[in-house]
A and B are shown apart, each in its own frame.
Chain A
Amino acid sequence: MVPIKYNTRNLWVRRGTTLMTVAGTALIVWSSCILFSMVEGLQQSLDVSGDPLDLIILRKGSTNETDGGFELDKADTMVTLKGVATDPKLGPLVSRELLNIPVMERANGSRTNLIIRGLDPVGRLLRRDFQIVAGRDLELGKGEAIVSERLAGRFKNSNLGDTLKVGEKESYRVVGLFRAGGGSAESEIWVDRKDLERNLSREGSVSSVQIRAAGPTDFESIKTVITDDAQYRLLALGEREYYAKQTQSTTFLKVFGFVIAVFLTIGAMFAAANTMFGAVASRTREIGTMRALGFSKSSILFCFLGESVILCSIGGIVGLLATLPLQALSFGTVNSNTFTEITVNFAFGPLVMIVAFSMTLAMGVLGGFLPAWKATDKDIIASLREL
């Protein structure tokens, strides 16, 4: 085998070309990583709770909470359902929730639909890792709101201490910032359910109810009662199942991102091939010499293939590292299920790693193959004569 330092030193000797190619491939890997970390971040942001014992109750036939709701009376009686988990302080883990989706202005002046959720205090226990990170939790009936930390400041008047004006008669004082495990709650503003009910003149109705069952058998029995019992006849979905449905919409984005990554990889592959063809052409005599000395065709093939992979890997690593400064950023876009704002953190998880890795490998191997093949196919005697 031809030693690796032969490749690395040649890459260094032709550092101008190497640098250009690395810059080209790094930008390609970087942009693909951004796309996929957006998709991955979006998926995390659609996550509802993640607890396998959590249920979400919707009106039959609807697909998500924004599709209208049902009568508060029904929701009230759910507290008495058998098998509901209980918190020693707050009682049964049943949270009645009401949504308002006003058009709100982002800090940059554009407008979008934002979820304002009125919920019972116990609802906080039904979100993963809910915690107040600044200020305090809201007090009931006082027109106060808590805002997701991620979202605060991204909308006008949504920072701690601001007064968030929603409509002519509706406004809330922001008294705290919260986190909720990175899930969908972090795209929302929370208020007291009764405050919201009053402001919207929607007394007597809820958008959804969230319930935690005490155990897996209770989970099933609650589901059956709510679906079949004459007094309910509602839709009871496990939150996991609900979440899976919500994230279906990211499939399109994933496919879109995948198509983009494939196209970009093909483009970068051509670039890598160009560089490697140049490398092979300028080292014809060296190749002839090594062949004469007894290096086999396959060792020449792997030598140049290796060089191509090293070249693209540098680009891949640089591209991946260049995403680091974005780790802390969050951005807002639309949840295509509900047409509402969703706040997304870039997520550089395994998906992004896999994308970067496979793009790099594809560029290096596929882009390097033809040039490497050409290197092995050279006539020894003719190449020894080459200048």
Chain B
Amino acid sequence: MKYLGYVLRNISRNPVRSLLTIGSISVSLFLMMIMLSFLSVNSEVSDSLKGSNRIIAMSSQGFAAQVPIRFVDEVGSMEGVTAASPLSWYGGKYQEQEMPFAQFGIYPEKIFDIWDELTIPEDQKKAFIDDPAGCVIGFKMAEERNIKIGDPMPLKGTIYPFDLNLTVRGIYKSPPDRDGRMCIFNWRFLEEGLKKDFQGRQAGNAGTVFLKIKSGTDPAQVCQKIDASTINSDTPTRTQTEDAFVAQFAELWGDMRLMISAVGLAVVVSLIFVSGNAMAMAMRERTTEIAILKAIGFTNGKVLGMVLSEAVFVSTIGGMIGALGCKLLFDVFDISPYTAGALPFFFIPTKTALLGFGTSILIGFLSGLLPAFAAARLGVIQGLRKVV
């Protein structure tokens, strides 16, 4: 600790170089945080859903295939299941914007028992249940688009031929790691419309089925039971816990995840070169000085330690600005509205930020190693004589 003053003075003696190194590290780590968070947000959300006591049944043939609506009532009455609702992706256009937010047909009387982290005032919930053409929207979307209760919510179908002319009956609040920009409406309203105007074409489709199970029940067992009951029907299902369901979206990304990780790694290695170079330049300038330190009795170990701590100090500052600063920035500033619906929510998970911060310390250590050993091995006589 008593050498901290000397280390600090060495850092500030060529402030341009130190600042450029810090700048390089912080900019690159900032970027790495964003890239890695694309990958980790999903698993973070998936982790937070463990123990949510929710399971989802979809067709074993994927999203495009049907899960018939009767299935909702069948599994809803199974033992251990406390609530069941269809979750049917509508994917409509709003004011000529293609799929600007998620739209789901659900059972209004069930959905808030299932999604219990979403909160809605009791009177709004009742109004939603009572109005077949009602809908509830997320608070973020209500704020951003300045939509109030009682406003119309017209959606033009793309998957379904029936357009939905809905009225906003309620606004739900959600925690930051849940989509705060959904629009949910009564599934039966879509169904009636399809039956009335389109001879029932595409009707009867529950999309996926969301289930709440009694706490203490083994979700895996319920999943197995459900799949076993449909295996010989026309529409076999694939049932999984909500966290596994969310995790599968990350799986879709496939090799892209590997690519992003590779780029992240390349950035880290690049930073080791960059800050190692800066450190080596600093050492070359100070050759005589290091020789003097040794001449007056500093051991090789002490010199090594001082050079290493200088490198670690500089890159740690870069890590603080880049990694932790990135987390703070995205905690305050929400980019989701600017991604045209590609990211319903985005944040830097604490784990990822800490990983970035830790990486900066590692970069400092690795980049300091070579210059530090060179300084430690420097001969006193040779160093005193060397003219840079």
Which A residues have a C-beta under 8 Å from some C-beta of B?
A: 16-17, 20-21, 23-25, 27-28, 30-31, 34-35, 38, 59-63, 66-68, 99-103, 106, 110-113, 167-168, 200-201, 252, 260, 263-264, 266-268, 270-271, 273-275, 277-278, 281-282, 331-334, 336, 339, 341, 387
Query: Which chain B residues border A281 with CB–CB below 8 Å?
Result: 285
Query: Which chain A residues border B65 with CB–CB below 8 Å?
Result: 100-102
CA distance A252 to B340 in the complex (A): 8
**CB distance B255 to A332 under 8 Å?**
yes
* Chain B contact residue count (CB 8 A cutoff): 61
Chain B facing A: main interface SS:
helix
Query: Which chain A residues border B30 with CB–CB below 8 Å?
Result: 263
Q: Among B20, B31, B258, B285, which residue has its beta carbon within 8 angstroms of that of A271?
A: B20
Query: Which chain B residues border A63 with CB–CB below 8 Å?
Result: 98, 158
With both chains docked as a complex, state the minimum distance between the C-beta of B30 and any C-beta of chain A, in angstroms: 7
With both chains docked as a complex, state the minimum distance between the C-beta of A31 and any C-beta of chain B, in angstroms: 4
**CB distance A20 to B277 under 8 Å?**
yes
Query: Which chain A residues border B156 with CB–CB below 8 Å?
Result: 61
B35 within 8 Å of A (CB atoms): yes
Q: Among B27, B64, B278, B340, which residue has its beta carbon within 8 angstroms of that of A267?
A: B27
With both chains docked as a complex, state the minimum distance between the C-beta of B78 and any C-beta of chain A, in angstroms: 22
**CB distance B161 to A274 under 8 Å?**
no
**CB distance B267 to A113 under 8 Å?**
no
CA distance A100 to B252 in the complex (A): 17
**CB distance A274 to B270 under 8 Å?**
no
**CB distance A277 to B20 under 8 Å?**
yes
Known contacts A34-B259, A61-B158, A277-B20, A112 near B64 by CB under 8 Å: no
Q: Among B17, B159, B254, which residue has its beta carbon within 8 angstroms of that of A62?
A: B159
Q: Among B251, B278, B281, B285, which residue has its beta carbon within 8 angstroms of that of A110?
A: B251
Known contacts A17-B281, A20-B273, A167-B236, A264 near B267 by CB under 8 Å: yes
Top-4 shortest CB links A-B: A331-B255, A20-B277, A27-B270, A270-B24
Residue of chain A at shortest CB distance from B159: A67
Known contacts A16-B280, A103-B238, A331 near B259 by CB under 8 Å: yes
Known contacts A67-B158, A102-B62, A103-B61, A21 near B388 by CB under 8 Å: no
**CB distance B27 to A31 under 8 Å?**
no
Query: Which chain B residues border A67 with CB–CB below 8 Å?
Result: 91, 158-159
CA distance A295 to B192 in the complex (A): 86
Chain B 238-267 against A: per-residue CB contact (8 Å), 1 yes, 0 no? 100000000010011111101100110011
